[in-house]
Chains A and B, each alone.
Chain A
């Protein structure tokens, strides 16, 4: 295990993204960043291809949300945005959270649109409306929120210690019938 390496770089990026020109720059550079990140993410290793068929009707199905938006409830510890490798830990957010209590600890995307309207990342208003109308069975009580993943892999998928496994077990305990994953 290597020593934890930290950088102030992403804090600077975060401050730039919080400005109007910085947010604009993020949109202009999106295409090359996507291309480069796609190339870097390529792996020669064969990965498992699990498949769980979705057989329920939506009015009987309980939806759980999982995101990597770096969201957490105020008062909960924020994600580590200084670790050069990323932070594979997660926070729980109640599905009935007051959105005004949500905070972002993620330095890789502009936050302005979320601060205007939480539904651009967590469309909770729409989902609660669907549940109230009987079109969706319900929302799982916990939203699971991860931080920036960087190049981390084992920290998520290791069967014994991986945080994704812990989240999967908690989703099972919550009786989730399907999961919507939201990136940022």
Chain B
């Protein structure tokens, strides 16, 4: 069996940095604190699925670590410009881990919504467009 790489070998950062990253990503995605199990699964998943990190990815990841508030805009910008980027891959892995955790089921399973739910959804759509516009500029600057 192939030996699993350590987190430092994989991403060039220590496990404490990845744990912080896991917390930050989970808060961003579902606005909830992740459990220790979720964090552990995230670091193990990254160790098992090693990325090929480009210089741009490293810049973006470091920028996000220093400025967690920027994650939403940068991710939205990447969704348009570079949908398969490493930042999005890591977020996607966290998204799948959260979805397969009973603590976060309500954030993913379909829920009964009234017809008025279209209003917050439309606002979210506007917010997404705004974030993407700002994000495209930010990604250009950071890289």
Asked if A and B are interacting partners, one says no
Residues of B within 8 A of A (CB): none
Residues of A within 8 A of B (CB): none
